[in-house]
Amino acid sequence: MITIIGSGKVGGAAALFTALRKVTDEILLLDVVQGLPQGEAMDLNHMLAERGIDVNIRGSNDYSEMKGSEIVVVVAGSGRKPGMTRMDLLKINASIVKGVVENIRKFAKDSMIIPVTNPLDPIAYLTYKVSGFEKNRVFGMGNMLDLSRFVEFIHESTRYSRHSIRAMVIGEHGENMLPMPRYSTVSGIPLISILSEEKIEGIVQDTRQVAAKVIELKGATVHAPGNAISTIIEAVVRDTKQVIPVATYLDGEYDHSNVSIGVPAVIGKNGVEKVVELDLNSNEKEWFKKGIDSVKSAISNLQL
């Protein structure tokens, strides 16, 4: 069973995309709002019925029903409003997620946790510390979403098939994220040999700024994060060993410790099975360090 805590737009989208991938027989939607997860589950089941997909989605307001969950996705918390940075959310969401994680520890102590609540990296750190779980069992969805946006901008600039594009984004899930043109390709052809330096810089900046644009236009990002969550879930359940950038706790990797931030990792049945350490040049190290400093500044204010 997979549990998704938070039944708003992103939680519902995560349940939808996970069900469409057919990686589990049962999905539990949990929320403190009476009726919301139950109604969302009904709506999704009606869609799945017509599609002939035998994944049962149910809704509940009772944390104890997550017993036996293999994976728990934490989407609970306040959404980012127009004009807000992800860090503006920290004070609001840290206390919410802390309570959620305490319930996970109580009712689903053998699960893996995928934090999604923003600001993602400090929340992933809080989740790891409060849960007391091994670090391989706590990994946040952040850069997987950033990666999907980076791929789209590469597609728009090259007009090559999205299917042919492989890209990487690491670092803070926020203004200091680090899209990696040197580690991005189109059918194996390095991106840096296809596009000019000026064009690539434009794509990088667009990737960093587009979340705020989507929020400004429609109020929230929904489908891309929902799909990113399901991609990570599938890698765990199917044990694909896919290399995915996730926010995980560093203990010496990339020469940093006591911080959770986005890095590429091999994701399989044991969660984060290996952190992949890319060889960063001086400019990339500088941007990565900006993200580290930003996240460490944020977590220094957490009450753990």
When pLDDT is averaged across residues 222-231 and rounded to a whole number, the result is 97
CA dist., res. 94 & res. 98, Å (int): 6
> For residue range 165-210, what is the model confidence (pLDDT) as tens digits?
999 999 999 889 999 999 999 999 999 999 999 999 999 999 999 9
163 catalytically annotated: no
pLDDT digits (tens, 9 = 90+) for 104-118: 999 999 999 999 999
Does 118 map to a domain?
A: yes
Number of domains observed in the structure of the chain: 2
User: 206: Cβ–Cβ under 8 A, 6 or more apart, which residues?
Assistant: 149, 153
**Residue 109 in contact with residue 243, Cβ under 8 Å?**
no
The domain that contains 201 carries what CATH number?
A: 3.90.110.10
Selected catalytic residue, list 46, 155, 163, 173: 173
Is 79 or 74 the better-scoring residue by pLDDT? 74
* 76-131 pLDDT tens trace: 998 766 666 666 788 889 999 999 999 999 999 999 999 999 999 999 999 999 99
pLDDT, one tens digit per residue, over 246-304 is: 999 999 999 999 999 999 999 999 999 999 999 999 999 999 999 999 999 999 988 77
Full-prediction pTM beyond 0.75?
yes
The residues near 299 (Cβ < 8 Å, ≥ 6 apart) are 122, 125, 126, 259
State which of 137, 169, 190 marks the end of a domain.
Answer: 137
Percent of the chain with pLDDT over 90: 90
Question: Of 113, 137, 161, which residue sits at a domain end?
Answer: 137
SS3 258: strand
Residues 192 and 148 in one domain: yes
**Domain ranges, residue 163:** 143-299
- 149 and 282 inside one domain: yes
